[in-house]
Each structure stands twice: as C-alpha cells, then as structure tokens.
Amino acid sequence: MTRVLFVCTGNVHRSVLAERLLAARLPPGSAVRPESAGTEAWPHSGMEKSTRAVLEELGGDGSGFTARRLTERLVTGAALVLGLAREHREAAVRLAPSAMRRCFTLKEFVRLAAGAQGGEGPGAEGGFDAVVAFAAARRGVATPVPAAEDDIADPLGMPRDMLYGCAREIDGVVSRLARLLDGSGVGV
C-alpha cells in the first residue's frame, strides 16, 4: 500500500473530505491508501454530521471515521503528505524534517506534479516515487504563486454553503490527484 496522508487543523472537515473523496475517485484495486490527521485534532469516533452529509452528497463514504492528531510516525510512514494549507505542510515537516521532499500542500503537489504527465517528467513509467521526486524538484524552478493559492480555507463554523464550496474545491483537486496517481502507475 502507498499511504497518502492529508493534514488539516482539526481533522474534522478539510483533511477528512480529501481522504474520503480521494478514496472515492481512485480506481478499484488502487494501491493508494488515503488517510488523514489534524495538527490540533483530538481523537474521537465518527464524522461531524454536516461534513458527512456533504461528503456523501459528493459520493464519498463517511462510515468508520476516527479523527486523530498528526504525529511524527504518521508523517514518516506516508509516501506523500498533503497539507490543506501551508501551515499544515510546515507542521508535518517540523515533526519529521527528513520527510520534507514528500510534504506539499494538496494544491501545490497537483500543480507541480502535473508536468510529470505532460511529457516533462517521468510519466506513467516512472511510478509514484518518481512523480513525487519530480514535484519536489520543481519547487525551485516553477513560477511561485501567492500563498493563498495553495491554501484551502477552513470552513469551521461557517454556514453549510461554505462547507459545500470547500468540499467541491477539494473534490476538484483530489479528482486531478487521483488521475495523476493512477497515471503514475500507482493505481492498479
């Protein structure tokens, strides 16, 4: 299994949505195992009712979820760590500096790794590790974007339409991620 870890603050909205929506978008039998954690999460079973409703409306499965706090072990055990905002990526790197080349924001990774499919990089022959290495190598040469472009806003305490908008934004990016991972030979 290739573990992809999504990180947000509370592990109640953004990272959960990314985890479960990626699972729904991957092809059957994929070797990718999406997971999630939060930098300030406190473990509890079940998913917040509003998040689960939006997730299921978009085709994800809300069952069997337990929130958990981000740990060094989770970061070092993941093949790819994707923060939903830059602060989450930075928290993962602080916990496990050796994982820096595997830590991105979700949007940053998809933007940087997209060239791997377009003939610039390893493509389908290179596999998962090659696509991650390609994205890491592009950090210093890709045109920088404003910080806000890499972050997905936290819908905590916001009205349902804001949560739904956040979920749709995440779904669009993880759908691209699923195609990228499948194209890298990770999906079976």
Alpha carbons 34 and 20: distance in angstroms, whole number: 7
CA-CA-CA-CA torsion for 53, 59, 64, 66, nearest 10 degrees? -70
> Which pLDDT score, from 0 to 100, does residue 188 have?
32
Query: Which residue range is the domain that position 89 belongs to?
Result: 2-183
Instruction: List Cβ neighbours of 115 (8 Å cut-off, separation of 6 or more).
Output: 121, 134, 138
> Which pLDDT score, from 0 to 100, does residue 186 have?
45
128 falls within a domain:
yes
Count how many domains the chain has.
Answer: 1
Residue at 35: amino acid letter: E
113 falls within a domain:
yes
Q: Residue 123, by phi and psi: left (phi above 0), alpha (psi -120 to 50) or beta?
A: left
> Which pLDDT score, from 0 to 100, does residue 27 have?
93
CB–CB of 36/15 below 8 Å?
yes
119 falls within a domain:
yes
**pLDDT digit string (tens) for the chain, length 188 residues:** 899 999 999 999 999 999 999 999 999 999 999 999 999 998 888 889 999 999 999 999 999 999 999 999 999 999 999 999 999 999 999 999 999 999 999 999 999 998 765 545 544 456 888 889 999 999 988 888 998 899 999 999 999 999 999 999 999 999 999 988 875 444 33
| Residue 133: CATH number of its domain | 3.40.50.2300
Phi and psi dihedrals of 7, rounded to 5? -130, 130
Sign of the torsion formed by the C-alpha atoms of 106, 109, 111 and 116: negative
Work out the end-to-end distance of the chain between its first and last CA atoms, rounded to an integer number of angstroms. 11
49: its two tokens? 């009712």
* Overall residue count recorded for the chain in this entry: 188
> Which pLDDT score, from 0 to 100, does residue 125 have?
54
188 falls within a domain:
no
16 falls within a domain:
yes
CA 63 to chain CA mean position, Å: 19
Whether the predicted model's global pTM rises above the 0.95 cut: no
